[in-house]
Amino acid sequence: MSSDAPPDPYDNPVAFGQRVQIYRNRRGMTREQLAGLLGHHASWVKKVETGSIGMPRLPEILRIAEVLRVRRLNDLVGDVGAEPHTDLFLGPGHDRLPAVRAALSAYPAPGTREAPTKAYLRAALDAAWAARHGAPNHREIIGRLLPGLLRDAQLGVRQADTASDRRAALALQAETFFLAQFFVAYQPDPSLLWRVAERGMVAAQESEDLHVIGVAAWLAAQAHRDSGPGHYDEADELVMQALRLLEPGLPDAPLDVQAITGALRAEAGITAAKRRDTGTAWGWWDRAGGVSRQLPADYFHRVTSFGRAVMGAHGVTVAVELRAGRESVRQANQAETDAIPSRPRRARHRIEQARAYYLDGQRETALAALEQAHAAAPETIRYNGYARSIVLEETASRVPERRQRASRLAVDIGMLAA
């Protein structure tokens, strides 16, 4: 390693402040950006990084870890004695992840078997999406289905006889990658997530299917945004390119194209909220709502969950990312959670509600929302970094009841041994 290479934050001698600076730089953030997200002045961040002030208390450390998307608490604070690593923002790794990874890396030999019909693969994908939205253990089910779906979709593309058949097969293959991206997200293999996102985008573009291209852009934009502020511009550019493609034909577009257009607008709002651009964030949210009101009342997009029922959930996320405590609670209180037909999306909304209540200092209500999230879809909260952060912080609460509730949740979601 060259002498001017940045230090590795895993090395024990690296102080807490240095680790903060390393991770901040890796995320492409300025001190001003980090300070804004933490509710401090840039001078405070400088004092932390230079060691002018000591290591903050646990709640502040957890907020720093959340913003910097640090996977393990020990990666930020160092290995204190012989304490075990505490996972934070990436899930523990699903038992079926190795099989899914192997399927994504496999290239079956030509002629090994005949590809299933497009009608068969379409029905199989429909069943997989229904299972994802309806099952509390959705990752287990999808992880079991994905290896076969990935293999069948690949065979369909390779054995297509005409250009038209190939485009149709590519659209189906892109959709299997979309399903895979939901499975691999927030698991301890970021490179696999990017591989899936890129393959989905390539297959979508080659399919020339407007709806599929829109979904690929929606998922890829999320992957960029989750990589940190240094990648917000890429997320926005993907969304804007897709909207420029979709919006001219919106008045006469099929329902699925209308829905992905609305979902993309909502994503633009969330990215703007992460930038603390209040007017732009709510403007995009309102434009997304305009699309949702043109859809049938019970419409539900099988990939993005977009529809009228989810707009309240998007409102909570926008307010939370803007760090608007009162507004986030107002949005959380008025959102109709039970109207969201997808169990994992409903659980994710409960987690966003918990973030809103926590931001407003309503910690008991936040824990109650997390308990509801666990009841709706245990595998969603198990892999959600925000939920794990709140639970971990509350296990150290000075209030016995909160500490006990958080400890039970920590056991339930696999953070602590029973």
Query: What pLDDT was estimated at residue 91?
Result: 56
Q: Are 162 and 118 in contact (CB under 8 A)?
A: no
Query: What pLDDT was estimated at residue 79?
Result: 58
Scored b (16 or more CB within 10 A) or e, 23-33 reads: bbebbebebeb
* Domain boundaries for CATH 1.10.260.40 within the chain: 1-89
DSSP assignment letter at 40 = S
165: part of which helix (H) or strand (E)? helix 163-184
Query: What pLDDT was estimated at residue 2?
Result: 41
DSSP assignment letter at 87 = B
What percent of the residues of the chain are helix, what percent strand, and what percent coil, each to the nearest 5? 70, 0, 30
DSSP assignment letter at 83 = P
Class in CATH terms, 1-89: mainly alpha
Query: What pLDDT was estimated at residue 370?
Result: 97
Distance from C-alpha of 131 to C-alpha of 328, rounded to nearest angstrom: 31
Query: What pLDDT was estimated at residue 154?
Result: 93
Query: What pLDDT was estimated at residue 191?
Result: 86
Strand partners, 72: 87
- Those residues of the chain that have pLDDT short of 70 are 1-14, 71, 79-92, 108-112, 416-418
Length of the chain: 418
pLDDT single digits (tens) 364-416: 999 999 999 999 999 999 888 889 888 888 887 889 899 899 989 988 888 76
Distance from C-alpha of 11 to C-alpha of 112, rounded to nearest angstrom: 49
Q: Is 54 helix (H, G, I), strand (E, B) or coil?
A: coil
- Compute how many other C-beta atoms are within 10 angstroms of the C-beta atom of residue 294: 14
Phi, psi of 184 (to 5 degrees): -85, -15
pTM of the full predicted structure? 0.81
Residue 263 CB partners (closer than 8 Å, separation 6+): 214, 218, 288, 301, 304, 306
Query: What pLDDT was estimated at residue 411?
Result: 86
Could you give the angle at which helices 363-376 and 385-394 cross, rounded to 10 degrees?
130
